[in-house]
Amino acid sequence: MNNLNGIERLKEISDTYRSQLLQLANKHTFGLHLGGSLSLSQILSVLYFHAAHVKPEDPNWAERDRIILSKGHANIGLLTILSIRGFFPTRFLDTFNQFGSQFSMHADVHVPGVEHSSGSLGHGVTVAVGMALAAKLLQEKWKVYCIVGDGEMMEGSVWESFMSAANYHLDNLVYIIDRNRLSQEAHTEDEMALEPLHQKLESFGLFVCDIDGHNIQAVKEAFDQNPGDKPKAILANTKKGYGVPGYEDQPKSHFAHLQDEEYQKALSAL
């Protein structure tokens, strides 16, 4: 694939990602975690096609960067970007969440390209610290990228991992916080207030990039920015259900099936 990291190319990938997600949300009538996967549209596109060093033809390549989806319920988004990147054919996702399929509702390490089975919130962030520490001890150059949900940040283990990462100067660790401001049922600020989040992250010793998570250029620049000797937190301000009429910034987007008419409207909006 030529010019993987050009801005226009990354926008095309993001659009492809969204259209494939919409198709899956229409096809699989049992529903899937749509909202939190759509909020990752630009983040995953830039991560897999610009920032991270991976080899789809060799998923276990020793020098690869490790990517952990701590908000493991957004696995359909991870699977979609992995298929676009070439880890497996997109048609394999026709079996998503069906009996005997390795493509399940939550991230599963048995899938090529998936580093950690996740879904229990607050666990992936701590595993990321362990991986980054291991890279330091082994004097390896690969990085660890960890995608965190803002609803997940109500878990104490998330903040413990931030403290640990800063304490050990894990400049090889990048947290990507999907700040869509919605948990499963309500706005985060109505359940457990996180603001002022930027300042809190800095107070825990992280280097913070506060960006529009749907702006490809901003996302790319955040990944490229040098954090010095600190772990980096990309605070990506996003919208849950991004781009889907009637679902954007709505709690109902968390788990949804798009009826045919909704699907067509979403495609038109895209």
- Domains of the chain are 7-269 (3.40.50.970)
pLDDT reported for residue 169: 98
Does the structure show a pLDDT above 60 at 96?
yes
Cβ-contact 152, 174 below 8 angstroms:
no
Q: What is the DSSP string of 183-237?
A: -SSSBHHHHS---SHHHHHHHTT-EEEEEETT-HHHHHHHHHS--TTS-EEEEEE
Q: What is the mean pLDDT of residues 203-211?
A: 98
Separation of alpha carbons 155 and 266, rounded Å: 33
Of the pLDDT bands very low, low, confident and very high (cuts 50, 70, 90), residue 20 is very high
pTM exceeds 0.85, yes or no: yes
Among 34-38, 99-103, 110-114, 173-177, name the one with the lowest average pLDDT: 99-103
pLDDT of residue 31: 94
- The pLDDT, as a whole number, for residue 270 is 87
Q: Is the pLDDT of residue 81 over 90?
A: yes
- pLDDT band at residue 4 using 50, 70 and 90 as cut-offs: low
Residue 2 has pLDDT above 60, yes or no: no
